[in-house]
Structure 1
Amino acid sequence: MYLFLGNLSFMDICYTSASIPTLLVNLLSSQKTIVFSGCAVQMYLSLAMGSTECVLLAVMAYDCYVAICNPLRYPIVMNRQVSVQMATVSWVTGSLTALLETGLSLRTPLCGNLIDHFTCEILAVLKLACTSSLLMDTIVLVVSVLLLPIPMLFICISYIFILSTILRISSAEGRNKAFSTCGAHLTVVSLYYGAALSMYLKPSSSGSQEIDKIISLLYGVLTPMLNPIIYSLRNKEVKDAVKKVLGKISVC
Protein backbone atom coordinates (compact mmCIF):
# COMPACT_ATOMS: atom_id res chain seq x y z
CA MET A 1 0.00 0.00 0.00
CA TYR A 2 2.75 2.47 0.90
CA LEU A 3 4.59 1.73 -2.34
CA PHE A 4 1.50 2.76 -4.31
CA LEU A 5 0.94 5.80 -2.08
CA GLY A 6 4.55 6.85 -2.70
CA ASN A 7 4.00 6.58 -6.44
CA LEU A 8 0.75 8.55 -6.16
CA SER A 9 2.46 11.31 -4.15
CA PHE A 10 5.36 11.59 -6.61
CA MET A 11 2.88 11.63 -9.49
CA ASP A 12 0.86 14.46 -7.94
CA ILE A 13 4.06 16.49 -7.41
CA CYS A 14 5.02 16.03 -11.08
CA TYR A 15 1.45 16.73 -12.22
CA THR A 16 1.17 20.06 -10.44
CA SER A 17 4.78 21.05 -11.21
CA ALA A 18 4.11 20.64 -14.93
CA SER A 19 1.39 23.27 -15.11
CA ILE A 20 0.86 25.27 -11.91
CA PRO A 21 4.12 27.33 -11.97
CA THR A 22 3.35 28.53 -15.52
CA LEU A 23 -0.25 29.21 -14.54
CA LEU A 24 0.82 31.35 -11.57
CA VAL A 25 3.35 33.27 -13.70
CA ASN A 26 0.66 34.00 -16.32
CA LEU A 27 -1.77 35.20 -13.66
CA LEU A 28 0.81 37.71 -12.39
CA SER A 29 2.19 38.72 -15.78
CA SER A 30 0.63 40.98 -18.38
CA GLN A 31 2.19 38.95 -21.21
CA LYS A 32 0.65 35.50 -20.95
CA THR A 33 2.76 33.47 -23.37
CA ILE A 34 4.47 30.10 -23.55
CA VAL A 35 6.99 28.84 -26.12
CA PHE A 36 6.00 25.95 -28.37
CA SER A 37 8.50 23.53 -26.80
CA GLY A 38 7.31 24.48 -23.31
CA CYS A 39 3.71 23.90 -24.38
CA ALA A 40 4.65 20.47 -25.74
CA VAL A 41 6.44 19.46 -22.53
CA GLN A 42 3.59 20.74 -20.39
CA MET A 43 0.99 18.84 -22.44
CA TYR A 44 3.00 15.61 -22.36
CA LEU A 45 3.67 15.70 -18.60
CA SER A 46 0.05 16.53 -17.76
CA LEU A 47 -1.26 13.74 -19.98
CA ALA A 48 1.34 11.25 -18.73
CA MET A 49 0.71 11.94 -15.05
CA GLY A 50 -3.07 11.99 -15.49
CA SER A 51 -3.11 8.75 -17.49
CA THR A 52 -0.76 7.04 -15.05
CA GLU A 53 -2.96 8.04 -12.13
CA CYS A 54 -6.00 6.48 -13.83
CA VAL A 55 -4.24 3.11 -14.05
CA LEU A 56 -2.62 3.41 -10.63
CA LEU A 57 -5.96 4.05 -8.90
CA ALA A 58 -7.28 0.84 -10.48
CA VAL A 59 -4.18 -1.02 -9.24
CA MET A 60 -4.75 0.38 -5.74
CA ALA A 61 -8.37 -0.84 -5.89
CA TYR A 62 -7.09 -4.36 -6.56
CA ASP A 63 -4.65 -3.95 -3.67
CA CYS A 64 -7.57 -3.05 -1.38
CA TYR A 65 -9.55 -6.02 -2.71
CA VAL A 66 -6.78 -8.49 -1.89
CA ALA A 67 -6.16 -6.90 1.54
CA ILE A 68 -9.81 -7.14 2.60
CA CYS A 69 -11.12 -10.18 0.71
CA ASN A 70 -7.99 -12.37 0.99
CA PRO A 71 -6.05 -10.97 3.95
CA LEU A 72 -4.15 -14.18 4.75
CA ARG A 73 -2.89 -14.49 1.17
CA TYR A 74 -2.07 -10.78 0.85
CA PRO A 75 1.72 -11.09 1.53
CA ILE A 76 1.96 -13.73 -1.20
CA VAL A 77 -0.36 -12.23 -3.83
CA MET A 78 0.83 -8.63 -3.42
CA ASN A 79 4.50 -9.25 -2.72
CA ARG A 80 7.14 -6.62 -3.39
CA GLN A 81 7.93 -7.83 -6.89
CA VAL A 82 4.29 -7.90 -8.01
CA SER A 83 3.66 -4.43 -6.53
CA VAL A 84 6.68 -2.95 -8.35
CA GLN A 85 5.59 -4.58 -11.62
CA MET A 86 2.05 -3.20 -11.30
CA ALA A 87 3.34 0.29 -10.53
CA THR A 88 5.73 0.06 -13.49
CA VAL A 89 2.89 -0.96 -15.83
CA SER A 90 0.95 2.12 -14.67
CA TRP A 91 3.86 4.44 -15.48
CA VAL A 92 4.62 2.81 -18.85
CA THR A 93 0.96 2.88 -19.92
CA GLY A 94 0.56 6.54 -19.00
CA SER A 95 3.83 7.58 -20.63
CA LEU A 96 3.17 5.77 -23.93
CA THR A 97 -0.43 6.96 -24.33
CA ALA A 98 0.64 10.53 -23.52
CA LEU A 99 3.46 10.31 -26.09
CA LEU A 100 1.00 9.12 -28.74
CA GLU A 101 -1.56 11.86 -28.04
CA THR A 102 1.00 14.65 -27.71
CA GLY A 103 2.90 13.66 -30.86
CA LEU A 104 -0.22 13.55 -33.03
CA SER A 105 -1.77 16.72 -31.59
CA LEU A 106 1.39 18.77 -32.16
CA ARG A 107 1.54 17.60 -35.79
CA THR A 108 -2.01 18.85 -36.40
CA PRO A 109 -2.05 22.15 -38.38
CA LEU A 110 -3.30 24.96 -36.13
CA CYS A 111 -5.09 28.11 -37.30
CA GLY A 112 -4.06 30.45 -34.49
CA ASN A 113 -1.84 30.52 -31.43
CA LEU A 114 -4.21 31.78 -28.73
CA ILE A 115 -5.18 28.95 -26.36
CA ASP A 116 -8.37 29.66 -24.41
CA HIS A 117 -7.22 27.83 -21.31
CA PHE A 118 -5.01 28.15 -18.24
CA THR A 119 -2.50 25.60 -19.58
CA CYS A 120 -1.63 23.70 -22.77
CA GLU A 121 -4.49 21.29 -22.28
CA ILE A 122 -4.86 18.94 -25.26
CA LEU A 123 -8.57 19.58 -25.86
CA ALA A 124 -8.01 23.35 -25.81
CA VAL A 125 -5.12 23.04 -28.27
CA LEU A 126 -7.11 20.80 -30.63
CA LYS A 127 -9.84 23.45 -30.81
CA LEU A 128 -7.32 25.54 -32.79
CA ALA A 129 -7.01 22.85 -35.49
CA CYS A 130 -7.69 24.14 -38.99
CA THR A 131 -9.60 21.00 -39.95
CA SER A 132 -11.17 18.19 -37.99
CA SER A 133 -8.93 15.11 -37.93
CA LEU A 134 -10.80 11.82 -37.73
CA LEU A 135 -7.61 9.99 -36.73
CA MET A 136 -6.88 12.40 -33.87
CA ASP A 137 -10.48 12.38 -32.63
CA THR A 138 -10.54 8.57 -32.73
CA ILE A 139 -7.26 8.24 -30.82
CA VAL A 140 -8.35 10.69 -28.12
CA LEU A 141 -11.66 8.83 -27.76
CA VAL A 142 -10.04 5.37 -27.65
CA VAL A 143 -7.39 6.45 -25.12
CA SER A 144 -10.04 8.16 -22.99
CA VAL A 145 -12.19 5.01 -22.97
CA LEU A 146 -9.20 2.77 -22.14
CA LEU A 147 -8.03 5.00 -19.29
CA LEU A 148 -11.32 6.17 -17.78
CA PRO A 149 -14.42 3.91 -18.07
CA ILE A 150 -12.51 0.61 -18.17
CA PRO A 151 -10.39 1.27 -15.01
CA MET A 152 -13.50 2.76 -13.38
CA LEU A 153 -15.44 -0.44 -14.16
CA PHE A 154 -12.59 -2.49 -12.69
CA ILE A 155 -12.66 -0.33 -9.54
CA CYS A 156 -16.44 -0.72 -9.20
CA ILE A 157 -16.20 -4.51 -9.52
CA SER A 158 -13.44 -4.59 -6.90
CA TYR A 159 -15.54 -2.55 -4.49
CA ILE A 160 -18.58 -4.77 -5.00
CA PHE A 161 -16.52 -7.71 -3.72
CA ILE A 162 -15.03 -5.52 -0.97
CA LEU A 163 -18.45 -4.35 0.22
CA SER A 164 -19.87 -7.86 0.24
CA THR A 165 -16.90 -9.03 2.31
CA ILE A 166 -17.19 -6.12 4.77
CA LEU A 167 -20.90 -6.76 5.32
CA ARG A 168 -20.10 -10.35 6.29
CA ILE A 169 -17.67 -9.24 9.03
CA SER A 170 -19.35 -9.86 12.37
CA SER A 171 -17.47 -7.39 14.59
CA ALA A 172 -17.99 -3.64 14.36
CA GLU A 173 -14.27 -3.05 14.91
CA GLY A 174 -13.42 -5.28 11.95
CA ARG A 175 -15.89 -3.46 9.70
CA ASN A 176 -14.52 -0.07 10.74
CA LYS A 177 -10.97 -1.20 10.05
CA ALA A 178 -11.96 -2.49 6.61
CA PHE A 179 -13.80 0.73 5.76
CA SER A 180 -10.77 2.72 6.92
CA THR A 181 -8.54 0.71 4.58
CA CYS A 182 -10.53 1.51 1.45
CA GLY A 183 -12.39 4.71 2.41
CA ALA A 184 -9.55 7.09 1.54
CA HIS A 185 -8.96 5.44 -1.83
CA LEU A 186 -12.66 5.52 -2.69
CA THR A 187 -12.80 9.25 -1.88
CA VAL A 188 -9.82 10.00 -4.14
CA VAL A 189 -11.31 7.88 -6.95
CA SER A 190 -14.65 9.73 -6.74
CA LEU A 191 -12.96 13.14 -6.93
CA TYR A 192 -10.54 12.31 -9.73
CA TYR A 193 -12.69 10.16 -12.00
CA GLY A 194 -15.74 12.38 -11.56
CA ALA A 195 -13.86 15.39 -12.92
CA ALA A 196 -11.93 13.49 -15.61
CA LEU A 197 -15.00 11.68 -16.97
CA SER A 198 -16.98 14.91 -17.25
CA MET A 199 -14.01 16.51 -19.05
CA TYR A 200 -12.98 13.91 -21.63
CA LEU A 201 -16.11 11.86 -22.29
CA LYS A 202 -18.69 14.55 -22.82
CA PRO A 203 -19.93 15.67 -26.27
CA SER A 204 -17.65 18.34 -27.73
CA SER A 205 -20.61 20.65 -28.30
CA SER A 206 -21.89 20.53 -24.72
CA GLY A 207 -20.85 22.99 -22.05
CA SER A 208 -18.57 25.99 -22.38
CA GLN A 209 -14.84 26.52 -22.29
CA GLU A 210 -15.18 28.25 -18.91
CA ILE A 211 -16.68 25.10 -17.40
CA ASP A 212 -13.84 23.04 -18.89
CA LYS A 213 -11.34 25.36 -17.22
CA ILE A 214 -12.97 24.89 -13.83
CA ILE A 215 -13.07 21.10 -14.25
CA SER A 216 -9.40 21.01 -15.27
CA LEU A 217 -8.49 22.97 -12.14
CA LEU A 218 -10.51 20.50 -10.07
CA TYR A 219 -8.58 17.40 -11.14
CA GLY A 220 -5.31 19.22 -11.85
CA VAL A 221 -4.98 21.28 -8.67
CA LEU A 222 -7.63 20.47 -6.07
CA THR A 223 -7.41 16.66 -6.23
CA PRO A 224 -3.58 16.47 -5.88
CA MET A 225 -3.81 18.93 -2.98
CA LEU A 226 -6.50 16.89 -1.20
CA ASN A 227 -4.89 13.46 -1.73
CA PRO A 228 -2.31 13.77 1.09
CA ILE A 229 -4.96 15.19 3.42
CA ILE A 230 -7.41 12.38 2.66
CA TYR A 231 -4.83 9.63 3.18
CA SER A 232 -3.31 11.31 6.25
CA LEU A 233 -6.67 11.28 8.02
CA ARG A 234 -6.41 7.48 8.16
CA ASN A 235 -3.60 7.95 10.69
CA LYS A 236 -4.79 7.99 14.31
CA GLU A 237 -2.21 10.60 15.41
CA VAL A 238 -3.24 12.92 12.56
CA LYS A 239 -6.91 12.49 13.48
CA ASP A 240 -6.18 13.37 17.11
CA ALA A 241 -4.15 16.43 16.05
CA VAL A 242 -6.99 17.64 13.77
CA LYS A 243 -9.54 17.17 16.57
CA LYS A 244 -7.30 19.11 18.94
CA VAL A 245 -6.94 22.01 16.47
CA LEU A 246 -10.67 22.08 15.75
CA GLY A 247 -11.34 22.05 19.49
CA LYS A 248 -9.09 25.09 20.02
CA ILE A 249 -10.79 26.92 17.14
CA SER A 250 -14.26 26.26 18.58
CA VAL A 251 -13.15 27.50 22.01
CA CYS A 252 -11.74 30.70 20.50
Structure 2
Amino acid sequence: MMANTEYNASSRNSGHKIALVIGNGNYGPENSLENTINDANEMAKLLKKIGFKIQGDKAQLDLGYSAMKHILVDFQASIKKESMVLFYFAGHGVQSNNRNYLIPTDNFNENNAPLRGSDLRGRAIDAENILDEINDRHPFATFFFLDCCRTYDLRNDDLRGSRSRDLPQHSHGLITMPAKVGSLIAFACAPGTTADDGRDGEVHGLFTKYLLEHLKTPNEDIEKLLRRVRNDVLKASREEQIPHVTSLLTYDHICLFEQEGNDFPQYKI
Protein backbone atom coordinates (compact mmCIF):
# COMPACT_ATOMS: atom_id res chain seq x y z
CA MET A 1 0.00 0.00 0.00
CA MET A 2 1.31 3.45 -0.91
CA ALA A 3 2.19 5.59 2.08
CA ASN A 4 0.15 8.73 2.68
CA THR A 5 2.47 11.69 2.04
CA GLU A 6 0.01 14.39 3.17
CA TYR A 7 0.18 15.54 6.76
CA ASN A 8 -1.58 18.12 8.85
CA ALA A 9 1.14 20.70 9.26
CA SER A 10 -0.70 23.10 11.56
CA SER A 11 1.28 22.00 14.63
CA ARG A 12 4.58 22.51 12.80
CA ASN A 13 4.05 25.99 11.36
CA SER A 14 5.27 28.04 14.29
CA GLY A 15 8.96 27.17 14.14
CA HIS A 16 11.84 28.96 12.46
CA LYS A 17 10.36 31.31 9.83
CA ILE A 18 12.84 33.32 7.76
CA ALA A 19 12.52 35.50 4.67
CA LEU A 20 14.69 37.36 2.20
CA VAL A 21 12.98 40.27 0.46
CA ILE A 22 14.65 42.05 -2.47
CA GLY A 23 13.30 44.99 -4.46
CA ASN A 24 15.19 46.37 -7.46
CA GLY A 25 13.91 49.38 -9.38
CA ASN A 26 16.81 51.67 -10.29
CA TYR A 27 17.78 50.04 -13.59
CA GLY A 28 18.54 53.22 -15.48
CA PRO A 29 16.31 55.23 -17.81
CA GLU A 30 15.42 52.41 -20.22
CA ASN A 31 14.38 49.80 -17.66
CA SER A 32 13.51 51.61 -14.41
CA LEU A 33 10.53 50.40 -12.38
CA GLU A 34 8.33 52.64 -10.26
CA ASN A 35 6.75 50.42 -7.63
CA THR A 36 9.17 47.60 -6.82
CA ILE A 37 10.77 49.46 -3.90
CA ASN A 38 7.34 50.05 -2.35
CA ASP A 39 6.46 46.41 -3.00
CA ALA A 40 9.54 45.08 -1.23
CA ASN A 41 9.34 47.48 1.72
CA GLU A 42 5.71 46.64 2.44
CA MET A 43 6.29 42.92 1.97
CA ALA A 44 9.14 42.93 4.49
CA LYS A 45 7.05 44.87 7.02
CA LEU A 46 4.11 42.50 6.65
CA LEU A 47 6.20 39.34 6.89
CA LYS A 48 7.84 40.64 10.05
CA LYS A 49 4.41 41.29 11.57
CA ILE A 50 3.26 37.74 10.85
CA GLY A 51 6.28 36.17 12.47
CA PHE A 52 9.09 35.98 9.91
CA LYS A 53 12.66 36.97 10.67
CA ILE A 54 13.76 39.18 7.77
CA GLN A 55 17.32 38.84 6.46
CA GLY A 56 19.06 42.12 7.25
CA ASP A 57 15.97 43.11 9.30
CA LYS A 58 14.48 44.93 6.29
CA ALA A 59 13.96 44.74 2.55
CA GLN A 60 17.15 44.73 0.49
CA LEU A 61 16.84 47.45 -2.14
CA ASP A 62 18.49 48.21 -5.48
CA LEU A 63 21.16 45.53 -5.19
CA GLY A 64 23.94 45.06 -7.72
CA TYR A 65 25.19 41.63 -8.74
CA SER A 66 27.80 41.19 -5.97
CA ALA A 67 25.43 42.43 -3.28
CA MET A 68 22.72 40.02 -4.43
CA LYS A 69 25.17 37.11 -4.40
CA HIS A 70 26.40 37.97 -0.90
CA ILE A 71 22.97 38.41 0.67
CA LEU A 72 21.83 35.11 -0.86
CA VAL A 73 24.84 33.27 0.60
CA ASP A 74 24.15 34.76 4.04
CA PHE A 75 20.46 33.90 3.79
CA GLN A 76 21.10 30.32 2.73
CA ALA A 77 23.53 29.88 5.63
CA SER A 78 20.78 30.91 8.08
CA ILE A 79 18.42 28.13 6.98
CA LYS A 80 17.95 25.36 9.50
CA LYS A 81 16.49 21.96 8.92
CA GLU A 82 12.70 22.26 9.11
CA SER A 83 12.77 26.07 8.60
CA MET A 84 9.91 27.76 6.79
CA VAL A 85 11.71 29.76 4.09
CA LEU A 86 10.31 32.58 1.98
CA PHE A 87 12.08 34.38 -0.87
CA TYR A 88 10.48 37.43 -2.49
CA PHE A 89 11.87 39.36 -5.45
CA ALA A 90 10.39 42.41 -7.16
CA GLY A 91 12.30 43.72 -10.14
CA HIS A 92 13.27 42.61 -13.62
CA GLY A 93 13.52 38.95 -14.56
CA VAL A 94 14.25 37.43 -17.95
CA GLN A 95 14.35 34.00 -19.55
CA SER A 96 17.27 32.76 -21.61
CA ASN A 97 18.16 29.23 -22.74
CA ASN A 98 15.37 27.74 -20.62
CA ARG A 99 16.56 29.45 -17.43
CA ASN A 100 15.08 32.33 -15.44
CA TYR A 101 17.41 35.12 -14.35
CA LEU A 102 16.82 37.86 -11.77
CA ILE A 103 18.43 41.11 -12.90
CA PRO A 104 20.61 43.19 -10.52
CA THR A 105 20.61 46.96 -10.78
CA ASP A 106 24.13 47.11 -12.26
CA ASN A 107 22.62 45.62 -15.41
CA PHE A 108 25.58 46.04 -17.72
CA ASN A 109 28.51 43.84 -18.68
CA GLU A 110 32.25 44.24 -18.04
CA ASN A 111 32.44 46.66 -20.99
CA ASN A 112 29.74 48.86 -19.43
CA ALA A 113 27.40 47.86 -22.25
CA PRO A 114 23.78 46.79 -21.70
CA LEU A 115 23.34 43.10 -20.94
CA ARG A 116 23.07 40.53 -23.71
CA GLY A 117 21.77 37.00 -23.32
CA SER A 118 25.32 35.65 -23.15
CA ASP A 119 26.08 37.94 -20.17
CA LEU A 120 23.34 36.58 -17.94
CA ARG A 121 25.17 33.58 -16.46
CA GLY A 122 27.87 35.85 -15.04
CA ARG A 123 25.93 39.07 -14.43
CA ALA A 124 22.47 37.94 -13.27
CA ILE A 125 21.10 35.51 -10.67
CA ASP A 126 19.77 32.14 -11.82
CA ALA A 127 16.46 31.73 -9.96
CA GLU A 128 16.49 27.95 -10.12
CA ASN A 129 19.95 27.87 -8.54
CA ILE A 130 18.58 29.80 -5.57
CA LEU A 131 15.85 27.21 -5.12
CA ASP A 132 18.38 24.37 -5.41
CA GLU A 133 20.64 25.90 -2.75
CA ILE A 134 17.71 26.36 -0.38
CA ASN A 135 16.41 22.85 -1.02
CA ASP A 136 19.83 21.36 -0.24
CA ARG A 137 19.40 22.59 3.35
CA HIS A 138 16.20 20.53 3.78
CA PRO A 139 13.75 23.17 5.03
CA PHE A 140 10.24 22.26 6.10
CA ALA A 141 8.77 24.34 3.27
CA THR A 142 10.00 26.92 0.77
CA PHE A 143 7.97 29.73 -0.81
CA PHE A 144 9.20 31.63 -3.86
CA PHE A 145 7.29 34.79 -4.77
CA LEU A 146 8.55 36.27 -8.05
CA ASP A 147 7.05 39.60 -9.10
CA CYS A 148 9.55 40.14 -11.89
CA CYS A 149 7.84 39.50 -15.20
CA ARG A 150 8.07 43.04 -16.55
CA THR A 151 9.25 43.84 -20.08
CA TYR A 152 13.05 44.18 -20.09
CA ASP A 153 15.28 45.43 -22.91
CA LEU A 154 17.92 42.75 -23.48
CA ARG A 155 20.51 43.28 -26.23
CA ASN A 156 20.38 40.74 -29.04
CA ASP A 157 23.15 38.12 -29.18
CA ASP A 158 21.95 36.42 -32.31
CA LEU A 159 22.33 39.16 -34.90
CA ARG A 160 26.12 39.04 -35.17
CA GLY A 161 27.62 41.50 -37.60
CA SER A 162 24.33 43.34 -37.87
CA ARG A 163 23.59 46.89 -36.81
CA SER A 164 20.45 45.44 -35.21
CA ARG A 165 22.55 43.54 -32.69
CA ASP A 166 22.77 46.57 -30.41
CA LEU A 167 19.08 47.34 -30.58
CA PRO A 168 17.03 46.28 -27.56
CA GLN A 169 15.18 43.00 -27.75
CA HIS A 170 12.21 42.84 -25.40
CA SER A 171 12.26 39.86 -23.05
CA HIS A 172 8.68 39.00 -22.19
CA GLY A 173 8.27 37.30 -18.84
CA LEU A 174 9.71 34.11 -17.42
CA ILE A 175 9.36 30.44 -18.24
CA THR A 176 7.69 28.01 -15.88
CA MET A 177 10.08 26.66 -13.27
CA PRO A 178 9.67 23.23 -11.68
CA ALA A 179 9.10 23.31 -7.95
CA LYS A 180 11.28 21.15 -5.73
CA VAL A 181 9.71 18.73 -3.26
CA GLY A 182 8.45 20.81 -0.35
CA SER A 183 8.34 24.08 -2.28
CA LEU A 184 5.85 26.44 -3.90
CA ILE A 185 6.65 28.99 -6.62
CA ALA A 186 4.25 31.85 -7.32
CA PHE A 187 4.84 33.94 -10.45
CA ALA A 188 3.14 37.29 -10.94
CA CYS A 189 1.88 36.15 -14.34
CA ALA A 190 1.69 33.19 -16.69
CA PRO A 191 4.83 31.95 -18.48
CA GLY A 192 5.89 34.14 -21.39
CA THR A 193 3.70 37.08 -20.36
CA THR A 194 4.36 40.31 -18.48
CA ALA A 195 3.08 41.71 -15.19
CA ASP A 196 1.48 45.04 -14.41
CA ASP A 197 3.84 47.28 -12.42
CA GLY A 198 0.88 49.26 -11.09
CA ARG A 199 -1.98 51.26 -12.52
CA ASP A 200 -2.08 55.06 -12.50
CA GLY A 201 -1.99 56.26 -8.91
CA GLU A 202 -1.13 52.81 -7.53
CA VAL A 203 1.91 52.35 -5.31
CA HIS A 204 2.19 48.58 -5.79
CA GLY A 205 2.39 46.18 -8.68
CA LEU A 206 -0.87 44.33 -9.24
CA PHE A 207 0.32 40.91 -8.02
CA THR A 208 2.01 42.25 -4.88
CA LYS A 209 -0.96 44.49 -4.09
CA TYR A 210 -3.23 41.48 -3.67
CA LEU A 211 -0.52 39.30 -2.15
CA LEU A 212 -0.12 41.87 0.63
CA GLU A 213 -3.87 41.98 1.11
CA HIS A 214 -4.38 38.23 1.44
CA LEU A 215 -1.26 37.27 3.40
CA LYS A 216 -2.83 39.15 6.34
CA THR A 217 -5.47 36.42 6.64
CA PRO A 218 -4.63 34.23 9.66
CA ASN A 219 -4.79 30.44 9.83
CA GLU A 220 -5.47 29.99 6.12
CA ASP A 221 -3.80 27.51 3.81
CA ILE A 222 -1.29 29.29 1.56
CA GLU A 223 -2.54 27.60 -1.60
CA LYS A 224 -6.08 28.82 -0.93
CA LEU A 225 -4.75 32.33 -0.34
CA LEU A 226 -2.90 32.29 -3.65
CA ARG A 227 -6.06 31.26 -5.48
CA ARG A 228 -7.72 34.37 -4.04
CA VAL A 229 -4.76 36.48 -5.16
CA ARG A 230 -5.05 35.02 -8.66
CA ASN A 231 -8.79 35.70 -8.83
CA ASP A 232 -8.36 39.31 -7.71
CA VAL A 233 -5.56 39.92 -10.23
CA LEU A 234 -7.66 38.34 -12.98
CA LYS A 235 -10.56 40.62 -12.16
CA ALA A 236 -8.49 43.80 -11.82
CA SER A 237 -6.58 43.15 -15.06
CA ARG A 238 -9.64 41.97 -16.99
CA GLU A 239 -7.92 38.61 -17.36
CA GLU A 240 -4.84 40.11 -19.01
CA GLN A 241 -2.57 39.02 -16.12
CA ILE A 242 -2.81 35.49 -14.74
CA PRO A 243 -0.65 34.62 -11.71
CA HIS A 244 0.91 31.18 -12.08
CA VAL A 245 1.68 28.76 -9.23
CA THR A 246 3.63 25.52 -9.21
CA SER A 247 3.61 23.53 -5.99
CA LEU A 248 5.12 20.36 -4.57
CA LEU A 249 4.25 21.06 -0.95
CA THR A 250 4.05 17.78 0.94
CA TYR A 251 2.01 18.91 3.95
CA ASP A 252 -1.61 19.87 4.14
CA HIS A 253 -2.81 23.27 5.38
CA ILE A 254 0.45 25.21 5.64
CA CYS A 255 -0.19 28.68 7.06
CA LEU A 256 2.28 31.54 6.78
CA PHE A 257 0.39 33.44 9.48
CA GLU A 258 -0.92 31.63 12.55
CA GLN A 259 -3.05 33.37 15.14
CA GLU A 260 -4.68 31.86 18.21
CA GLY A 261 -8.35 32.43 18.88
CA ASN A 262 -11.27 32.94 16.54
CA ASP A 263 -11.77 36.71 16.69
CA PHE A 264 -9.98 37.22 13.38
CA PRO A 265 -11.88 40.36 12.22
CA GLN A 266 -10.41 42.29 15.17
CA TYR A 267 -6.87 41.72 13.91
CA LYS A 268 -5.34 44.84 12.38
CA ILE A 269 -2.13 45.22 10.37
Fold equivalence (TM over 0.5): no
With a CA cutoff of 8 Å and minimum separation of 6, indicate the structure with the bigger relative contact order.
1
The alignment's TM-score, normalised by the length of structure 1, stands at 0.32
Q: Hey, which of these two has a bigger chunk of helix by percent?
A: 1
The alignment's TM-score, normalised by the length of structure 2, stands at 0.30
Q: Hey, which of these two has a bigger chunk of strand by percent?
A: 2
Instruction: Choose 1 or 2 for highest CA Rg.
Output: 1
